[in-house]
Amino acid sequence: SIEQITVRTILDSRGNATVEADIYTACGFGRAAAPSGASTGTYEAKVRPARDAVENAQEHLIPSLIGEDTRDQITFDALLRELDGTADFSSIGANVAVALSLACAKAAASSLDLELFRYLGGAFAGRTPLPLGNVIGGGAHATDATEIQEFLVVPTGAADAQEAVFANAAVHRTVKDLLKKRGKGCGKGDEGAWAPRIADAEAFEIITEAVGTVSDDMNVEINMGIDVAASELFDGEQYRYRDGAKSPEEQVAYMADLVDRYDLVYVEDPLAEEDFDGFADLTDMVGDRCLICGDDLFVTNVDRIMRGLEKHAANCVLIKPNQIGTLSDTFEAIHLAQSNGMETVMSHRSGETTDNTIAHLATAFECIFLKTGAVGGERISKLNELIRIEELI
């Protein structure tokens, strides 16, 4: 049972304060930190400013958690919800909730001398997810760069996690060379993707070339995907692009065209977070050859995933534990999606720490992809952990 809990504020990758929690039991220790988003969905659980959240937790929350059994995750998470008393963790803060919830699982795993992926996934957890990494990006993650938030690659033909991780990094590096050659050298966005001042069409062109080069060099099949984060482009009526606006119907057609033109295997948030019907139209058109994934649409929330299932809105759910606040809720979301034939993708946030928990969650819960960038310390902490996990399987 829990003997001691420490919560503190630490730095995240944007230089902002975030929450980290340590949980000690007689024979276990768990530590986890909360990430944070920039293009957050309206229906996500609510964070409290980190310092204020930590103070509040120390005073009002932690005393009630001492003595709890870390191996009873469901009860621990239910207690967090009860102590919070709101539907969206706006009282204690979803940042405090997710850090404590994940630290609880890690303390339990440690007390049993098990790796987290083994504790949560059991004896049959046997496959690491493929890494899905962004190599060019803009939107809310960089100023004056691409309009589509993330241009992603996934090495679908990779033999193992190591080859997969290195393939994505090689594409990232090759994209830099190609940008330089075109006189479009640039810095990086929040997630480590290149943030050039180019049109989306040129980004597709450059990545297509980079993927071709790396595929040949490494002899591995690599595919492209995108995260449009379309809620950020939507003004309530239309999708605003630099060279004009698109109606929701035109946006669906544009997305379907991109899928076919660039053989996209993954499209996240192609439409705004309220548009279940637009999602359904697109899924109907291209869902047989492409994953249509809801991030802001579903916010890792079973009620919204249920609505998506009824409307056949998507065939994939993005999973971000901090969108919903606890590991139990995260598991419920994954379970609901997978038992209804949808794929799941475990994801980082644009504001991250070196915490590598999501590599374990993605493996334990059999997510098809782990979406966590391609380079950068807070991204490679997850990617390198994936390589280590695969060694243990």
Beta carbon of residue 317, minimum distance to ligand PGA (angstroms, whole number) = 12
Quote the distance between the C-alpha of residue 291 and its chain's center.
15
117 vs 266, beta carbon nearer ligand PGA: 266
Residue 106 burial (10 A CB sphere; 0-12, 13-18, 19+): buried
On the 0-12 / 13-18 / 19+ scale of CB atoms within 10 A, 4 is exposed
Minimal distance in Å, beta carbon 227 to ligand PGA?
5
Q: Is 320 considered catalytic here?
A: yes
Catalytic site residue 184? no
Catalytic annotation, pick one of 191, 232, 343, 352: 191
Residue 52 assigned as binding residue:
no
Find, among 197, 196, 148, 156, the residue nearest to 172 by Cα.
196
Binding status of residue 273 toward Zn ion by CB under 5 A: no
If the CB atoms of residues 40 and 356 are measured against ligand PGA, the closer one turns out to be 40
101 marked as part of a ligand binding site: no
From the list Zn ion, ligand PGA, none, partner contacted by residue 355 (C-beta under 5 to 8 A by kind): none
User: How many angstroms separate the Cα of 134 from the Cα of each of 151, 156, 253, 350?
Assistant: 5, 15, 24, 11
Selected from 20, 190, 275, 295, the binder of Zn ion by CB under 5 A is 295
Q: Is the dihedral of CA 43, 361, 311, 284 positive or negative?
A: positive
43 or 166, CB closer to ligand PGA? 43
Residue 343 contacts residue 316 (beta carbons within 8 Å): yes
Q: How far is residue 100's CA from residue 12's CA, in Å, rounded to a whole number?
A: 17
* Binding of residue 343 to Zn ion (CB under 5 A): no
Between CA 105 and CA 194, with CA 323 as vertex, the angle to 5 degrees is 105
Q: How many Cα atoms sit within 13 Å of 180 on the Cβ side?
A: 7
Contact of 3 with 25, CB cutoff 8 Å: yes
Q: Which of 116, 48, 108 is nearest to 84 (CA)?
A: 48
Amino acid at 335: H
Q: Is 58 annotated as a binding residue?
A: no
19 CB-side CA count, 13 A: 32
Choose the one of Zn ion, ligand PGA, none that binds residue 38, judging by a C-beta under 5 to 8 angstroms depending on kind: ligand PGA
Catalytic residue among 176, 188, 320, 382: 320
Which stretch in 68-76, 79-87, 189-197, 291-299 sits in contact with Zn ion by CB under 5 A?
291-299
* Comparison of 38 and 109: residue with beta carbon closer to ligand PGA: 38
CA dist 357 → 32, 117, 374, 378, 384 (Å): 7, 9, 17, 12, 12
Least distance (Å) between residue 264 CB and ligand PGA: 16
Q: Minimal distance in Å, beta carbon 160 to ligand PGA?
A: 26
Ligand-binding annotation for 22, yes or no, is no
> Residue 4, annotated ligand binder?
no
- The residue assigned the tokens 């960089």 is 142
Positions touching ligand PGA (CB under 6 A) are 37-40, 227, 229, 295, 347, 349-350
> Given its phi and psi angles, is residue 108 left (phi above 0), alpha (psi -120 to 50 degrees) or beta?
alpha
Min dist. Cβ of residue 94 to Zn ion (A): 17
* Residue closer to ligand PGA, measured from CB, 40 or 328: 40
Which residue, 295 or 378, has its beta carbon nearer to Zn ion? 295
227 binds Zn ion (CB under 5 A): yes
User: According to the annotation, is 60 in a ligand binding site?
Assistant: no
Is 348 known to sit in a ligand binding site?
A: yes
Residue nearest to ligand PGA (CB): 37
295 is in an annotated binding site: yes
Q: Whole-number minimum distance, CB 37 to ligand PGA, in Å?
A: 3
Q: How far apart (Å, rounded) are the C-alpha atoms in residues 279 and 297?
A: 9
Q: Which residues are annotated as a binding site for Mg(2+)?
A: 227, 268, 295
Q: Which residues are annotated as a binding site for (2R)-2-phosphoglycerate?
A: 149, 320, 349-350, 371
Binding site for Zn ion (CB under 5 A): 227, 268, 295
Q: Which residues are annotated as a binding site?
A: 141, 149-150, 227, 268, 295, 320, 347-350, 371
Residues acting as catalytic residues: 191, 320
